[in-house]
Structure 1
Amino acid sequence: MNDKKIHDRLEIFNVKQTSIGLIIGIIFVHIIFTTVMNLIMFKNGYFGPIIKMLNGWVNATLAANFIGILFEVVIILIIIGRLSPRDLGIKREKLLSGFLGTLLFWLIINIFLFLIAMLTNIKLKFNNEIVSNPNMVFGTLFGQLFGNALLEEIVFRGFLFVQIYLLLTKIKKEKVRILGSVLLSQFIFAIIHIPNRIYSGLVGVEYFFDFIQLVIIGIILSYIYFATRNIFFVIGIHSLINYQPMLWNSNFSKILILICFLILPFILILMKRKKELSQSTTHI
């Protein structure tokens, strides 16, 4: 494999390495942040006046995660940690392709919903919420795109996954090093969701199954980031997993998005192999 291919594949790791103290610090701060927001702010409805004043265009998720982005990303990672936005995966030139990729993914889901309805003789109805309550629909979507998904992708994929990889220098085998950094960072990603799950009312064994689900989701999101090298695309996919503003009212939208989400890594692998095969054929 030539140097260019190696550089392209490992592009996300070509960033400034930070200290283990900052890594531990951001994990600790994020635990405090999620605990306070879920078990105090959300539980007691402290964001209610903001939601009411802005008529739902800004919801509690966006308001809370705006604070998280300001404190965790801007103050701790960028100002104190002296990392640039590019060190966190935020690259302006990737924005358009990330947006278009997310839009394509969303359109494919809607097309699949239409085809399923046609094949099963289910009558589809247009999602009137888009027209009648655009503030609630787009407010919820914005809460993910510019709030929850944005913060979590920067912290757990853009920062933690990459920095743990850079930290594991004693692991010489590249694939093992990448796998180790993915598993460790996404294990932390799952644990940090516990305060939210307490707020959501999970009980008993539900925590175990939810934990496994979060680890799997985190691993897939990490692979998508590794394969596409586009954190904006991962933010978009993450947002659609959490909230599905579909064109049609359907009970299948969430499960269909999850199926397409699970299939996406295999599509990316096939695209990568096809590209490598094409390049090797060209050089023959």
Structure 2
Amino acid sequence: MSRTTGSNMLDHHPLRGRELPDVRWGLVAAVLAWVMTVMLFANNWYVPGHIDRPLFNATGGFLSVTLQIGLPATLVVLAMIRFGGGLSLTNFGFTKAAFVRGMQLAATMWILLNVWAIYRSLSEGQPIAVAELWRNRPAEALGILSGQFLGNAFFEETVFRGFLLAQFYAAIRTTSGRDDSFTVFKTVIIVGVLFMLEHVPNRIMKGDQGSELLGELFGIYLAGLLWSWMYVRTGNLFFTITAHALHNYPTLLMDVPGGDRAAKVPASLLAIFIAWMWPVLFRSASGLPKLATASAGTPQEE
């Protein structure tokens, strides 16, 4: 990698070379406790009790259960960080530049996936048509898509990639005195385990057990590692929200053979390609605060 490209990559990096707030272990514990509270509340009461149905029915399906739970839960996390911890959200990926670029990529990726759906239909001799969900229940379709971008993916990426990755990196960097790729690697592994554990209540509620449960959790762990890599690679939290959301529920406008599930792999491959090519596609800095100096007293860089 050339010197120019390497420097450009560091401009985007959300961890290395960044000014990060000191770890607030009490805040970390509070956020993790809130996450588990939300998951237990959702999986043991809200969803089984169909508490979401009145709002769902009143809005024609737009206020999906994911949106009803995920968006308020995320707002609570942001309030905990900003007001409870007294920390700037900028340190955790919430910048205007990241938001604008992330939303541009979200629209672009979704359009490209719909183009792929048209191609897939043509290649298999199927008629080109709007998906049944968008034709007959557009509010519900929009609710499913919004439920990821403003609910589930928004919640999980804010907590695990935005907040916890930065806090654990700051802790490990302070302890080791190193600001390098191995420190990033250790952080990603730790946060990946926490991300996997967050999903245990949901998988148990679904009835998974034994080897099936372990297989599901291992897949979630790998997905968490992938989204952590994307965030580290791009420095854009809203791009990882997009990648996560489109992997979970692409909710394509165009009908595709095999349904939306068939679009999950193309969505992830497209996100991986964009993340890999990020230093070439986007050369401007991320706007994240950098360390003031690189003196002998600062952590070592790779």
Task: Give the TM interval when normalised to the shorter protein.
Answer: 0.7 to 0.9
4+ runs deviating over 4 angstroms? 1-7, 273-276
Report if the CA contact (8 A) 1:37-1:64 is conserved.
yes
User: Aligned-pair distance for 1:242?
Assistant: 1.5
Gap regions ≥5 residues in structure 2:
284-302
1:140 aligns with 2:144: yes
Residue of structure 1 in register with 2:31 after alignment: 26
1:71 aligns with 2:76: yes
Distance, in Å, in 1 between the alignment partners of 2:251 and 2:12 is 33
- 1:167 deviation in Å? 0.9
1:197-256 superposed Cα distances (whole Å, 9 cap, x missing partner): 122332332211111111111111112112222111211221111212212222164243
Q: Deviations over 1:173-192 (max 9, x none)?
A: 61111011111101111111
After superposition, the CA RMSD in angstroms is 2.5
TM-score, normalised with respect to structure 1: 0.86
Q: Residue in 1 aligned with 2:233?
A: 227
Sequence identity, in percent?
22
Say if 1:15 and 1:86, in contact at 8 Å, map to a contact too: no
- Kindly indicate whether residue 229 of structure 2 is the aligned counterpart of residue 216 of structure 1: no
Gaps of at least 5 residues in structure 1 are 277-284
Q: Give the helix-richer structure, 1 or 2.
A: 1
Q: Give the Cα separation in 2 of the matches to 1:209 and 1:54.
A: 36
The yes-or-no answer on 1:103 pairing with 2:82 is no
1:120 corresponding residue in structure 2: 124
Partner SS for 1:44 = coil
Which residue does 2:47 correspond to in 1? 42
Structure 1 residues 18-27 or 237-246, which shifts more? Answer: 18-27
Residue 181, structure 1, aligned to residue 152, structure 2:
no
Contact 1:57 1:135 in 2 (8 A): yes
2:13 aligns with one of 10, 13, 16: 10
- Cα distance change on mapping 1:263 and 1:58 into 2, 3 Å: closer
Q: Deviations over 1:93-131 (max 9, x none)?
A: 222211111122122222222223333323343214223
SS of equivalent to 1:16 = coil
CA distance in 1, matches of 2:109, 2:282: 21
Counterpart of 2:208 in 1: which secondary structure? coil
Kept in 2, the 8 Å contact 1:153–1:235? The answer is: yes
Give 1:202's aligned amino acid.
D
- State the TM-score, normalizing by the size of structure 2: 0.82
Larger relative contact order, structure 1 or 2 (CA cutoff 8 Å, min sep 6): 2
Instruction: Return the alpha-carbon distance in structure 1 between the equivalents of residues 44 and 70 of structure 2.
Output: 15
Distance 1:207 1:121, change over 3 A: same
Task: Give matches, 1:236-251, under 5 Å.
Answer: 236-250=242-256, 251=258
Instruction: Name the residue aligned to 1:160.
Output: 164
Q: Is contact 1:68–1:151 with CA below 8 Å preserved after alignment? A: yes
Counterpart contact for 2:247–2:267, Cα < 8 Å: no
Instruction: Give me the whole-angstrom Cα distance separating, in 1, the residues matched to 2:107 and 2:168.
Output: 31
> What SS does the aligned partner of 1:28 have?
helix
Tell me the SS of whatever aligns to 2:23: coil
